[in-house]
Amino acid sequence: MTEIAITRTTNPKQPPADETLTFGTVFSDHMFMMEYHEGQGWHDPRIVPYAPFVMDPATCVLHYGQAIFDGLKAFRGPDGQIRLFRPGDHSRRLNRSAHYLCIPELDPVMVEESIRALVEVDQNWVPKMPGTSLYIRPTVIATETFLGVHPSHSYLYYVIVGPVGAYYKEGMNPVRILVSDQYVRAVKGGLGAAKTAGNYAASLFGAEEAQKAGYTQVLWLDGVEHKYLDEVGTMNIMLKIGDEVITPPLNGAILAGITRDSVLTLLRSWGLRVSERPVSIDEVTAAASAGNLEMWGTGTAAVISPVGELGYKGERYVINGGQTGALTQKLYDTIVGIQYGTAPDPFGWTRLLGNRLGG
Ligand code: COI
């Protein structure tokens, strides 16, 4: 693997106090960068002081959105060790997103090493208060300067990191979610399974309306019949009706969440009945009305987020009395325990910062 050149800042900043952290507003002292040019491949991996980019106004990512990213976290445990959560799976998912967007494949070992090396350089930015972590954002953008619509011939891969607290202002308290019967996030055959900028752009209008109506997020239904649950955009959705845990299948319209996969693996290891199947909004509202529903979201930023209320077609459906359900709490405690190294890691999901890949 090509060595990563490191240039350290001569002007390091002071990380903010852990108690003040929100999500995605503060960034560390350094960033990772590597370019792609046709005929040359990916080249010049390096860590440099964090700084703005200069871009030609005709850079194609600014016009046609050929951009992908991923999101993962590093945690500082009470033992002082820093752990990355499933960095290999996030690196492979970045490559799957690249495939959907016609972006040349990156070496997943290089992606994982870029993340490890940057977190190592900026390890003083990993906060230690429970509930906080270092959020890591690997990103690829198309950099060719042209206005024709075709895949770019050059790209920039970069990684930035910053300390974060809870994603939702509610923290681990139940969120209120509006089920959209008007707008859609993605459709089967589109880009719903890719972590690409356009999916988030598509969610903004509906999310603004939801917020005006007092909801934190939107639950998107399928783009064809507006009947089956897709995802929340910032997280995958799961529910428990009776003794069955249900989550929408990976049908090409939703993101293959790493936290989703972690939760499904845990639930199956606990012997619960887990179905990845289409679930209609009518089945969900009926279960909520019968008082037979527990619901939560899963995501890297959101972790495990209980859903306390759904709004749908002008009706309000309170879930589990608006309280965090027992299974939701157990999942949160288990995942967080693994991430901070206070619980066993039977599936080998965490990687201690000290361990290098590929020599
Ligand atoms: C993540 O959970 O890492 C995401 O990328 C979601 C984003 C809305 C913050």
Distance (Å, rounded) from C-alpha 242 to C-alpha 265? 20
| Angle, helices 87-100/108-121, rounded to nearest 10 degrees | 130
Decide whether any atom of ligand 1 lies within 6 Å of the 87 Cβ. no
DSSP notation for 194-251: S-BHHHHHHHHHHHHHHHHTT-SEEEEBPTTTS-BB---SSSEEEEEETTEEEE----
For ligand 1, atom 5, name the residue with the nearest CA. 71
Mean pLDDT, rounded, for 35-63 = 97
Mean pLDDT, rounded, for 60-65 = 97
For ligand 1, atom 7, name the residue with the nearest CA. 234
Mean pLDDT, rounded, for 33-39 = 97
Q: Domain ranges in the chain? A: 5-165, 175-340
pLDDT in tens, 153-169: 999 999 999 999 988 77
Q: What is the pTM assigned to this prediction?
A: 0.95
Give the SS3 label for residue 21: coil
Residues counted in the chain: 359
Nearest CA-CA partner of 16 in 4, 29, 32: 29
Express as a percent the part of the chain with pLDDT over 90.
94
- Which atom of ligand 1 lies nearest, measured to the CA of 70? 5
Express as a percent the part of the chain with pLDDT over 70.
99
For residue 14, what pLDDT band results from cuts at 50, 70 and 90? very high
For the chain, the average pLDDT equals: 95
pLDDT at 139 over 80: yes
Helix (H) or strand (E) holding 333: helix 326-340
* Å from CA of 270 to ligand 1 middle: 27
Decide whether any atom of ligand 1 lies within 6 Å of the 300 Cβ. yes
pLDDT at 266 over 70: yes
In degrees and rounded to multiples of 5, residue 194 shows phi and psi of -95, 150
For a ligand 1 pocket test, name from 134, 300, 303, 339 the mutation site with the most ligand atoms within 8 angstroms of its C-beta.
300
Mean pLDDT, rounded, for 234-261 = 97
pLDDT in tens, 293-304: 999 999 999 899
- Which atom of ligand 1 lies nearest, measured to the CA of 257? 2
Q: Does domain 5-165 have CATH number 3.40.50.920?
A: no
pLDDT at 199 over 50: yes
Nearest CA-CA partner of 226 in 182, 161, 176, 270: 182
**pLDDT value of position 2:** 82
The tokens describing 324, both together, are: 């965090």
């967080």: which residue's tokens? 336
pLDDT at 237 over 60: yes
* Å from CA of 302 to ligand 1 middle: 7
Decide whether any atom of ligand 1 lies within 6 Å of the 299 Cβ. yes
Class of residue 230 by CB neighbours under 10 A (exposed 0-12, middle 13-18, buried 19+):
buried
Decide whether any atom of ligand 1 lies within 6 Å of the 259 Cβ. no
For ligand 1, atom 3, name the residue with the nearest CA. 71
pLDDT in tens, 200-219: 999 999 999 999 999 999 99
Contact 248, 264 (CB under 8 A): no
Q: Is 24 left (phi over 0), alpha (psi -120 to 50) or beta?
A: left
State how far Cα 220 lies from the chain centre.
17
Pairing assessment for the beta strands 244-247 and 273-276 based on DSSP bridges? parallel
**pLDDT value of position 356:** 58
Decide whether any atom of ligand 1 lies within 6 Å of the 71 Cβ. yes
**pLDDT value of position 249:** 98
- Which atom of ligand 1 lies nearest, measured to the CA of 23? 9
**pLDDT value of position 233:** 80
* Å from CA of 102 to ligand 1 middle: 22
Distance (Å, rounded) from C-alpha 246 to C-alpha 138? 30
Q: What angle do CA 219, 225, 228 make, to 5 degrees?
A: 40
Whether 5-165 and 175-340 share one fold: the answer is: no
For ligand 1, atom 9, name the residue with the nearest CA. 301
Give the SS3 label for residue 150: coil
Q: Provide the 10 A C-beta neighbour count for residue 160.
A: 19
pLDDT at 94 over 80: yes
pLDDT at 357 over 60: no
pLDDT at 145 over 60: yes
Q: Does domain 175-340 have CATH number 3.20.10.10?
A: yes
For ligand 1, atom 6, name the residue with the nearest CA. 234
**pLDDT value of position 167:** 86
* Å from CA of 286 to ligand 1 middle: 30
Class of residue 337 by CB neighbours under 10 A (exposed 0-12, middle 13-18, buried 19+):
middle
**pLDDT value of position 359:** 41
**pLDDT value of position 355:** 59
For a ligand 1 pocket test, name from 167, 196, 236 the mutation site with the most ligand atoms within 8 angstroms of its C-beta.
167
Mean pLDDT, rounded, for 318-342 = 96
Helix (H) or strand (E) holding 90: helix 87-100
